[in-house]
Structure 1
Amino acid sequence: MWAPLNRPIQNWTGQRVWLIGASSGIGAALAQQALAAGATAIVSARRQPQLEQVANSHPKALIVPFDVLDTAAWQSSYTQIVQQIGGVDLIVFCAADYRSERSWEVNPATAAQTLQTNLGSVYAGLATILPELMARGSGGIGLIASVAGYMGLPNASVYGPTKAALINLAEILYGDLHPKGLNVYLINPGFVKTHLTDKNDFTMPALQTPEQAATAIWRGISAGKFEIHFPRRFTQVLKLLQLLPYRCRFALLSHLVKTP
């Protein structure tokens, strides 16, 4: 039996979980389930009213609103967390931007915003929290990427490359940080019903709710998995597709979206 790549977490009581992008979608569902499991959930996003709804006056919820694109706000927000609860045991990067667009539809300004939200903000967060986690020699980092990062998929001209970069980054982080006592989690959801995927005008196979996604994520983290991908009936198909030669893969993908 293979040992898990990360240390399993048997009990969430007392764990301090910082959820970035927790005002809606997967982040909000993760926060609510973490609180139900006994963890302290620090919820962050730009929209404070939505964060207050997620926290629902729970005594173990800490609301720390800020814009992930504001590099300086990362450090001030983390300082507030340390002052109020002493630190963070796990950070999960949930913030994301997405537009369904073909390559000829990409706008440079919105592309830059997506790149900074999906990828740049993660580097800002890592620079903020890694020194303390490494000094302590414990803690965890979760990156929510996507199966859109497995390969070049239609309609994901900017979103897909950012998620592919997060997959690559998670692998690098594991190699760097696991020997130092830190856990690293790569989270690759399939389609999840959120305000982002509501923009899609195509059928999304194996569509899940944010609550189903959060359950799968917490189950995987608790078990010590490195890659947490779901729903498997969909993600396993994409993993098989990855193994095909480009000629076969491109032929299959061409049937999914017809180019006008």
Structure 2
Amino acid sequence: MKTVLITGASSGLGKSLALLYAEQGWRVIACGRSEQRLAQLAQLNTNIETLSFDITSKADVLKAAEPLTKIDMVVLNAGDCEYIDDAVQFDSDLFSRVIHTNLIATGYLLEALVSKITKGGRLVFVSSSVVYLPFTRAQAYGASKAGLDYLAATMRLDLQPQGIHVSTVRPGFVKTPLTDKNDFSMPFLVEPDAAAKRVFSGLEKGKATIEFPRRFIIILKLVNILLPKKWWNALNNRNAS
């Protein structure tokens, strides 16, 4: 039985991924902060084990990972999103919080888990389609995901000689507790179960990059290439007002 460890597994995409991999006969180590929600998840499938810790605490991460041995796949899915409402009165505490959760904490997880991935195994970074275009108020979230993208790309180079594959997932809007808080339109919103199936299918095919929904990704890429930057800036300013 293969083993997959998934962070951020107590809700949203992580939860759906945990259930899908368990249904496919994998041993799933579902990680998150909420012991209660993880316990409820484990009741849904006997292939699911749980591991509760705070990814933003290096000590917690290292302690939780210490007893783990061979893992076939690690999915780094946990993250957070907060928006900076006033760029003039820049909220550096908010910025630091998001960068720490989405990027610095990923470093803690890499230190704790990469050495436990089996040869031929896979390391998965869940990034975001936000990396293709700047969006208003998304300074912290976008910067963290852009950093995560670069981190994944360099890990792919350096882990190749070790026989460990690296994949980057760049979803559009997925319905999660985080996106439920958004106060703006979210085109092509994907349900977490549907998103999990797309991620699972892409990883089964060994894809280095998994992006969805396809129409949304194509629009973002075309806008990035074809639309003059001043038009995109004007459109963002109008939507923000």
TM-score range, shorter chain: over 0.9
**CA separation of 1:105 and 1:53: change in aligned 2, threshold 3 A:** farther
The corresponding residue for 1:209 is 191
State the aligned residue count.
239
Q: Percent identity?
A: 31
**CA separation of 1:250 and 1:225: change in aligned 2, threshold 3 A:** farther
**CA distance in 2: counterparts of 1:114 and 1:61, whole angstroms:** 29
By how many angstroms is 1:56 displaced? 1.7
Map Cα deviations across residues 13-58 of structure 1 (whole Å, 9 max, x no partner). x121100111111111110111011111101111010111222253
> Given the alignment, which residue of 208, 211, 231 partners 1:226?
208
Report the TM-score, using the length of structure 1 for normalisation.
Answer: 0.86
Superposed, 1:52-201 pairs within 5 Å as: 52-56=39-43, 58-82=45-69, 87-102=70-85, 103-104=87-88, 106-133=90-117, 136-201=118-183
**CA separation of 1:250 and 1:90: change in aligned 2, threshold 3 A:** farther
> SS in structure 2 opposite 1:124?
helix
**CA distance in 2: counterparts of 1:236 and 1:147, whole angstroms:** 10
**CA distance in 1: counterparts of 2:95 and 2:16, whole angstroms:** 27
**Does residue 252 of the first structure (1) align with residue 232 of the second (2)?**
yes
> SS in structure 2 opposite 1:54?
helix
By how many angstroms is 1:214 displaced? 0.6
8 Å contact from structure 2 (residues 71, 116) kept in 1: no
8 Å contact from structure 2 (residues 7, 14) kept in 1: yes
> SS in structure 2 opposite 1:158?
helix
**Does residue 18 of the first structure (1) align with residue 5 of the second (2)?**
yes
Q: CA RMSD in A?
A: 1.7
> Given the alignment, which residue of 14, 37, 46 partners 2:24?
37
> SS in structure 2 opposite 1:228?
strand
Structure 2: gaps of 5 or more residues: none
By how many angstroms is 1:139 displaced? 1.6
8 Å contact from structure 2 (residues 84, 91) kept in 1: no
8 Å contact from structure 1 (residues 100, 200) kept in 2: no
8 Å contact from structure 2 (residues 103, 144) kept in 1: yes
By how many angstroms is 1:92 displaced? 0.7
* Structure with the higher strand share, 1 or 2: 2
Structure 1: gaps of 5 or more residues: 1-13
